[in-house]
């Protein structure tokens, strides 16, 4: 199948039914309403307030006390002290905010609306709404252009002179200060998020028409009696530009100097240069009777309801493509990274501030980037990490008295805030996110083999690791452990029945550090730099605790073999080693892999995987364990239980991480890799009977195409970007690819 279309027969009633568009920076949710269209808008730098320094002035004293209290097992006292003396002040980093709503008041009479259709075409990144009113067919096409940096709408009708409407921005009277005509056919809206050192923004709405007239009326642009009209909506902020007002006007005005055909052509060419790098085609149950012509008729919301009772392989294909679509639409070089809602949020006070929650959610957003051949979409994360690093040095010094490196806790914001975010014991004091994010830097290098990138970004890896050379403390077995920390966001039960959250040396921390030290050492070798620092890390590395097996045959989550209070907890941090890391593999650590399986089974048999992102993580873990049927089952549950009508992931509420985690799991079923090893079809579900994937990427800068039929490999092709050697693991054996030169490819036919 070729699944690229989301399709509906009714307008969106709410955000969860509206369709997302984005050019990386500007986001839009299209409701597709007939009388009064609503398109909710975002610009990725519209965040509340300015940068702040929030380190608790009592933090160092608190740190000493908390460490001692934890060592003595006085958990509750330690937690109370930590919240009072270590949590950031004031509480809370900045949050993401909407830009406003574009409304279009359509003037097509009161006739009955018939033949309504609303689609989002992932191949062209274009939303399209058509319906008939009073015998005339009206069409609205909407896209977010990256080349033109505007949201564009084309409105047309089947009869000349019938396109009449008013359009303008609203919905944000709480922070728009000004709205004035800036041209005969354009309005400029300006505002700020309420604080003098915060972010100011400007949005412009311009329109042009073929036939009829365009003029501004009040705070809107009015088009009357046209054959066709184009509307451009732009937005710029002071976060990126000093002359953001001028630029907002120029964006919209200049875009409309071009024809729709040119604008559309440039948009599609730009978008497809990313989207078409990967092609996925799955064949299996649920596709009987589907034809290409009939595909138009498949309604996305109905498929989602039906997938509870029937297989729909095509929907999985669509979900993968949608994940890539969201990545391209929400994260481009130079933009902000994807937050909890990507870039799509219409709430003034969104859930969890729609921030960067960096104890899993932001990282998960980028899991499919490299394998999905969207490496450059990963870059905004490193720009944010740069800001985190700068602030985090200060936090390391002021909060922990550590002069080297940087630290960040479980949330950050557009300014790269690094102080503990809130007062929530299961999450707040967790100094590991800088370390986890730094792993993404090295991962980007591993996939691209871009030494220039590694050189430029190596300081992030180095400083993330350097912090821990001072922060780690010795446990009673002489091992090096974090203190204080948490196993994100879980609660344990002490033998006496009391509960605890904060602890010394949770398993995930040691796993993250094992990977970070390994990557940092490797980076120094590749760059021929910092030999002394590498030696320090080589000494510390063997002293980090390794994953251990507990009384249920599970991977221990904490240093002690505690029970969890909520056995089916959504976080499965102790399996970081299995995915995203590669410290546990069925081939190399079979006992730990069996324990990882026991851990997953234990979580799942107690209601685990109840949030979308958790379900998606679980699917990835099953893929790593090579359990194809469990991958399938969990992907299907992700679709049936945690997916909203517009295909957005549902926490609940909407949270985009599951979309990316789910997309990553689909790729993970088809291809897994470490540097030097490429596994083809490692967890191919039986129901993906036949199929093909082209353009996936593997570490070592390889591009991989795989075709299979009735569950058997039919053909594979591996192309090297740079000279390379790798072991290829096939379903039935292994082969060695030796010394491919740049551009050369290796093929096998099954
Ligand atoms: C973590 C998760 C929650 C949610 C929040 C944004 O705190 O435990 O489930 O995803 O981030």
What residue's CA is closest to ligand 1, atom 10? 361
Q: Residue 456 forms beta bridges with which residues?
A: none
Question: Rounded distance, CA 750 to CA 737, Å?
Answer: 16
At residue 106, the 3 state secondary structure works out as strand
165 in Cβ contact with 155 (< 8 Å) = yes
Q: Distance of CA 668 to CAs 68, 517, 624, Å?
A: 43, 25, 8
| 122: Cα separation from own chain's centroid | 17
Question: Rounded distance, CA 600 to CA 608, Å?
Answer: 8
pLDDT at residue 293, as a whole number:
40
Nearest to 636 by CA among 622, 624, 626, 625: 622
Q: 3-state secondary structure string, 437-478? A: HHHHHHHHHHHHCCHHHHHHHHHHHHHHHHHHHHHCEECCCC
The DSSP element (H or E) to which 316 belongs, if any, is helix 313-330
Q: Which two tokens stand for residue 73?
A: 């097992």
* Farthest CA pair distance, the chain: 83
Question: Rounded distance, CA 502 to CA 248, Å?
Answer: 48
Cβ–ligand 1 distance for 340 under 6 Å, the answer: yes
- Ligand 1: which atom is nearest the Cα of residue 613? 10
395 in Cβ contact with 434 (< 8 Å) = no
Question: Rounded distance, CA 368 to CA 374, Å?
Answer: 8
pLDDT at residue 297, as a whole number:
66
Cβ–ligand 1 distance for 611 under 6 Å, the answer: yes
Please list the ranges in the chain whose pLDDT falls under 50: 289, 291-293
Helices 433-448 and 451-471: angle between axes, nearest 10 degrees: 150
Q: What is the pTM of this model?
A: 0.98
> What is the separation, in whole angstroms, between the first and last Cα of the chain?
22
Q: Which two tokens stand for residue 622?
A: 């099953």
Pocket test for ligand 1, best of 352, 353, 572, 609 (most atoms within 8 A of CB): 352
pLDDT at residue 358, as a whole number:
98
Q: Which two tokens stand for residue 644?
A: 């909203």
* CA atoms in the 13 A half-sphere facing the CB of 178: 12
Question: Rounded distance, CA 121 to CA 143, Å?
Answer: 10
Question: Rounded distance, CA 82 to CA 84, Å?
Answer: 5
Residues with Cβ within 8 Å of residue 531, at least 6 apart in sequence: 524
Cβ–ligand 1 distance for 489 under 6 Å, the answer: yes
* CA atoms in the 13 A half-sphere facing the CB of 386: 11
422 in Cβ contact with 91 (< 8 Å) = yes
pLDDT at residue 177, as a whole number:
87
281 in Cβ contact with 317 (< 8 Å) = yes
Cβ–ligand 1 distance for 352 under 6 Å, the answer: yes
361 CA → ligand 1 middle, Å? 7
- Ligand 1: which atom is nearest the Cα of residue 489? 8
Block residue for tokens 């905010």: 97
428 CA → ligand 1 middle, Å? 12
């Amino acid at each position: 199948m070729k699944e690229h279309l989301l399709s509906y027969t009714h307008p969106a009633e709410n955000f969860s039914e509206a369709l997302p568009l984005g050019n990386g920076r500007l986001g839009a949710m299209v409701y597709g309403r007939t009388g009064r269209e609503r398109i909710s808008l975002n610009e990725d730098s519209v965040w509340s307030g300015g940068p702040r320094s929030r380190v608790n002035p009592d933090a160092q004293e608190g740190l000493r006390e908390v460490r001692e209290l934890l060592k003595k097992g006085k958990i509750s006292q330690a937690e109370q002290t930590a919240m009072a003396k270590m949590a950031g002040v004031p509480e809370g980093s900045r949050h993401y905010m909407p830009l406003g709503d574009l409304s279009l008041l359509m003037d097509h009479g009161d006739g009955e609306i018939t033949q309504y259709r609303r689609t989002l075409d992932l191949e062209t990144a274009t939303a399209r709404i058509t319906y008939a009113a009073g015998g005339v067919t009206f069409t609205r096409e909407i896209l977010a252009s990256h080349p033109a940096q505007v949201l564009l709408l084309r409105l047309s009708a089947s009869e000349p002179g019938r396109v009449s409407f008013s359009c303008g921005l609203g919905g944000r009277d709480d922070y728009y200060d000004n709205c004035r005509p800036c041209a005969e056919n354009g309005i400029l809206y300006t505002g700020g998020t309420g604080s003098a050192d915060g972010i100011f923004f400007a949005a412009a709405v311009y329109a042009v028409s073929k036939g009829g007239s365009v003029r501004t009326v009040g705070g809107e642009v009015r088009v009357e009696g046209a054959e066709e009209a184009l509307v451009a909506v732009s937005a710029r902020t002071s976060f990126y530009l000093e002359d953001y007002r001028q630029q907002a006007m120029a964006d919209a005005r200049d875009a409309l100097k071009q024809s729709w055909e040119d604008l559309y052509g440039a948009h599609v060419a730009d978008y497809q240069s990313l989207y078409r790098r990967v092609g996925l085609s799955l064949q299996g149950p649920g596709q009987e009777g589907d034809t290409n012509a009939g595909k138009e008729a498949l309604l996305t919301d109905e498929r989602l309801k039906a997938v509870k009772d029937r297989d729909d392989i095509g929907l999985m294909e669509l979900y993968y493509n949608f994940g890539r679509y969201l990545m391209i639409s929400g994260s481009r070089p130079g933009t902000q990274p994807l937050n909890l809602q990507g870039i799509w949020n219409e709430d003034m006070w969104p859930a969890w501030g729609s921030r960067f929650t960096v104890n899993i959610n932001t990282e998960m957003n980028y899991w499919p980037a490299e394998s999905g051949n969207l490496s450059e979409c990963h870059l905004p994360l490193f720009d944010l990490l740069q800001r985190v690093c700068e602030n985090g040095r200060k936090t390391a010094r002021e909060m922990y008295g550590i002069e080297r490196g940087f630290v960040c806790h479980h949330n950050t914001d557009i300014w790269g805030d690094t102080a503990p975010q809130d007062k929530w014991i299961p999450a707040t004091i967790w100094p590991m996110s800088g370390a986890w994010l730094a792993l993404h830097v090295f991962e980007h290098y591993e996939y691209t083999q871009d030494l220039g990138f590694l050189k430029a970004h190596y300081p992030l890896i180095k400083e993330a690791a350097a912090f821990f050379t001072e922060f780690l403390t010795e446990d009673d077995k002489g091992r090096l452990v974090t203190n204080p920390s948490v196993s994100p966001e879980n609660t344990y039960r002490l033998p006496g029945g009391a509960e605890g959250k904060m602890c010394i040396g949770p398993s995930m921390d040691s796993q993250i550090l094992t990977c970070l030290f390994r990557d940092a050492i490797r980076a120094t070798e590749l760059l021929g730099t910092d030999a002394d620092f590498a030696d320090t890390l080589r000494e510390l590395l063997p002293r980090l605790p390794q994953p251990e097996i507990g009384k249920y045959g599970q991977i221990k989550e904490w240093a002690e073999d505690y029970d969890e209070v909520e056995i089916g907890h959504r976080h499965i941090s102790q399996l970081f080693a299995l995915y995203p890391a590669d410290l546990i593999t069925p081939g190399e650590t079979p006992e730990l892999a069996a324990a990882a399986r026991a851990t997953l089974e234990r979580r799942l048999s107690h209601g685990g995987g109840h949030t979308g992102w958790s379900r998606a993580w679980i699917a990835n873990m099953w893929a790593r364990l090579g359990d194809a049927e469990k991958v399938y089952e969990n992907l299907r549950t992700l679709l049936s239980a945690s997916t909203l009508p517009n295909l957005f992931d549902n926490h609940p509420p909407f949270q985009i991480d599951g979309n990316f985690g789910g997309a990553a799991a689909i790729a993970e079923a088809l291809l897994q890799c470490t540097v030097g090893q490429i596994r083809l079809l490692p967890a191919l579900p039986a129901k993906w009977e036949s199929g093909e994937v082209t353009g996936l990427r593997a570490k070592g800068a390889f591009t991989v195409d795989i075709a299979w039929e009735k569950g058997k490999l039919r053909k594979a092709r591996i192309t090297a970007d740079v000279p390379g050697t790798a072991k290829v693991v096939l379903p039935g054996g292994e082969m060695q690819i030796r010394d491919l030169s740049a551009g050369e490819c290796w093929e096998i036919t099954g």
